[in-house]
Amino acid sequence: SYELTQPPSVSVSPGQTATVTCFGDNLGDKFASWFQQKAGQSPALVIYHDTKRPSGIPERFSGSNSGNTATLTIRGTQDMDEADYYCQAWDRSTAVFGGGTRLTVL
């Protein structure tokens, strides 16, 4: 079965750039989405179709996807960005989620 691999944790200082990666076999041939999940809340879409931001998502969130790796980048990271982040892609009509990355803003 298809798998997406994320680092368990990433730390960043306020105002710096956070990078969260998602690895999957030929992931660049699929569309990747990213979700932010804060404690006690439902996941929220922050990036879809590799690079697109839903309405209301700040411009500091951006995405890319090439080769085997999709990347979520948060520029000028704020305290409010501290959360779990999940990548997701479809493989033959099956949705696959990465294991999640805990982003800590130190």
Partner 1 sequence: QVQLQESGPGLVKPSQTLSLTCSVSGDSVTRGTFYWNWIRQPAGKGLEWIGRVYTSGTTNYNPSLKSRVSISLETSKNQFSLKLSSVTAADTALYYCARVVDSRGGYFDFWGQGILVTVSS
What residue ranges bind partner 1 (CB under 8 A)?
Answer: 1, 30-31, 33, 35, 42-45, 48-50, 54, 86, 88-90, 93-100
**What minimum distance in Å lies between the beta carbon of 94 and partner 1?**
6
The two tokens of residue 46 are: 């922050």
**What minimum distance in Å lies between the beta carbon of 13 and partner 1?**
26
Rounded distance, CA 7 to CA 21, Å?
7
| Helix (H), strand (E) at residue 47 | strand 44-47
Rounded distance, CA 10 to CA 21, Å?
10
**What minimum distance in Å lies between the beta carbon of 80 and partner 1?**
19
| Helix (H), strand (E) at residue 69 | strand 69-74
Measured from the CB atom, is 15 or 29 closer to partner 1? 29
Measured from the CB atom, is 43 or 77 closer to partner 1? 43
- Residues 7 and 20: beta-carbon distance below 8 Å: yes
